[in-house]
Amino acid sequence: MVSITDIREQTVSIASPMRNAVIDFSKMTISAVVVETDLTRDGKAIKGYGFTSNGRYGQSGILRERMIPRLLGARDVASEDGCNLDPFKCWQAMMANEKPGGHGERSVAVGAIDMALWDLVAKIDEKPLYQVLAERYSQGRSNPFVKVYAAGGYYYPDSAHHLLETEMRAYLDMGFREVKMKIGGASLDEDRVRIERVLNVVGDGNRLAVDANARFDVHTAVAYAEAIAEYDLRWYEEPVGVLDFEALKEVRLASRTPIATGENLFSCEDSLNLVRYGGLDASVDYLQMDPALSYGLVEYLRILQMLGTNGWAAGRCVPHGGHQFGLHLAAGLGLFGNEAYPGVFEPFGRFASEMRLEDGLVKLADAPGIGYEAVPEIYAVLTGV
């Protein structure tokens, strides 16, 4: 029966010079996690790798004091046939003696270990993770070509809009077809200028999404909704406070642009409240919960099931985070696509260079697991944990 023999974690800087409408990322960290079992391949322990996405900092304390000792102390974490790990049993072990509610931070710590566990599960199965997921949860249907968009468009000093254009042109040159930019860090008038500059580069409204990072009050959010309606943008992201569903409902009513939100909700319970109260439209809006920040894929599967019973298809989901783990979920579970952060959150925002980006699609590789071994800059950090 497979057992877990070691779990290590290390806090790693992903400091980035940009800032969005709310925070700067100059001190941003993640926790990188390595999980080992008693299984070997070619004489070496098979290792699973995970990390805490981005934006919510490393979680050394919760990992060291609660999640790692509980998982190492669990009696049975094996699949029914004993030949692989069962991430659901691992999840139960990690969450033992945790009170309900308060979904944040803890969800990030669990998510990092969960990512490493699924990496292991797929490696033990000798398949890429997306294929494992498709077989288990999508009747075998998978699509290794994942739609990605480039999240960037931060503010430049002195309103240097030509730098914003240069940034967006660079994304198109890389093979992206869709991009996202920040709004709300300047006046509405200046943001309109910025949006129009970017539209000149990308050519079409549905190739551009805008992101307010939950900064606006209802009044401002509605004013922006009205102002951007003419551009026919892909989506209008996080217009208002992430838990203020009444405000979201008001903005939704006023917005001709699809709404996207959810990256700062970290549980199935919080996601349910979003779809219950937020007034969103399951035929046009997007949900962006990040599995790595939200108790991992085990909880994300619960979220997808909950969404299904509330009329939301997996195809409306575009996870936050820009990690290769998200690509596998998109490919194996039929999600709309995945975020990408070219050049920021280095190196953890990178995808493997063998996974070519063409016409806005990334093709997943066939290596077993998630494939961080094929991203030298990430693998160098992970092997040091």
Spot the catalytic one: 180, 182, 323, 328. 182
- What is the DSSP secondary structure assignment for residue 384, as one 8-state letter? T
Among positions 43-72, residues that touch a second copy (CB under 8 A) are 55-66
> Interface residues for a second copy in 344-373 (CB under 8 A)?
none
- Closer to a second copy by Cβ: residue 294 or 338: 294
Which tokens sit at 296? Answer: 């991992």
Q: Which stretch binds a second copy (CB under 8 A): 93-101, 126-134, 351-359, 376-384?
A: 93-101
Distance CA 206, CA 235 (A): 8
CB closer to a second copy out of 131 and 264: 264
From the list 6, 38, 76, 98, which residue makes contact with a second copy (rule: CB under 8 A)? Answer: 98
Closest listed residue to residue 331, CA positions, set 128, 176, 142, 147: 142
320 has catalytic annotation: yes
| Alpha-carbon dihedral angle through residues 95, 97, 99, 105, given to the nearest 10 degrees | -40
The per-residue b/e assignment along 155-192, b for 16 or more CB within 10 angstroms, e otherwise, is: beeeeeeeebbebbeebbeebbbbbbbbbbbeeeeebb
Please state the closest distance from residue 16 (CB atom) to a second copy, in A. Answer: 12
Member of 4, 33, 46, 106 binding a second copy (CB under 8 A): 106
CB 103 within 8 A of CB 269: yes
State the minimum distance, in angstroms, from the CB of residue 192 to a second copy: 25
Shortest distance (Å) from residue 160 CB to a second copy: 23
The region of 105-113, 203-211, 298-306, 348-356 touching a second copy under the rule CB under 8 A is: 105-113
CB 33 within 8 A of CB 51: yes
# residues contacting a second copy (CB under 8 A): 50
Question: Counting contacts by CB under 8 A, is residue 103 touching a second copy?
Answer: yes
Active-site entry in 123, 320, 323, 328? 320
Q: Which ranges constitute the DSSP H helices of 125-281?
A: 129-137, 161-174, 188-202, 218-228, 245-254, 268-277
Options 214, 248, 298, 375; binder of a second copy; rule CB under 8 A:
214
Euclidean distance between CA atoms 134 and 123, whole angstroms: 15
Residue 217 touches a second copy, criterion: CB under 8 A: no
Residue 105 Cβ, how far from a second copy at the closest point, in Å? 3
CB of 243 to a second copy, least distance (A): 4
Closest CA to 193 of 150, 239, 155, 167: 155
Q: At what angle do helices 296-309 and 268-277 cross, to 10 degrees?
A: 30
The number of helix segments (H) and strand segments (E) in the chain equals: 13, 12
Among 104, 175, 343, 347, the residue binding a second copy under the rule CB under 8 A is: 104
**Distance between start and end Cα atoms, the chain:** 26
Sites for a second copy among residues 238-297 (CB under 8 A): 241-246, 264-267, 269-270, 272-273, 276-277, 293
- Shortest CB 266 distance to a second copy, Å: 5
C-alpha separations of 43 from 40, 78, 84, 384 in Å: 6, 21, 18, 20
- Which CB atom, from 142 or from 288, has the smaller least distance to a second copy? 288
Whose Cβ is closer to a second copy: residue 56's or residue 302's? 56
CA separation for the pair 210, 373 (Å, rounded): 33
Q: Minimum distance from CB of 349 to a second copy (Å)?
A: 16
Which of residues 64 and 136 has its CB atom nearest to a second copy in the complex? 64
- The position carrying tokens 């990322």 is 25
Spatial separation of the C-alpha atoms in residues 228 and 222, rounded to whole Å: 10
Give the residue with the Cβ less far from a second copy, 236 or 266.
266
Applying CB under 8 A, which of residues 97, 139, 187, 309 lies at the interface with a second copy? 97
- Give one DSSP letter per residue of 64-110, joined into a string: IIIIHHHHHH-S--B-TTSSSB-HHHHHHHHTTTPPS---SSHHHHH
Min dist. Cβ of residue 132 to a second copy (A): 29
Binding flag, residue 18, a second copy (CB under 8 A): no
The rounded Cα 7 to chain-centroid distance in angstroms is: 23
Residues that bind a second copy (CB under 8 A): 11, 22-25, 27, 29, 55-66, 96-107, 213-214, 241-246, 264-267, 269-270, 272-273, 276-277, 293
- Residues that are catalytic: 182, 320
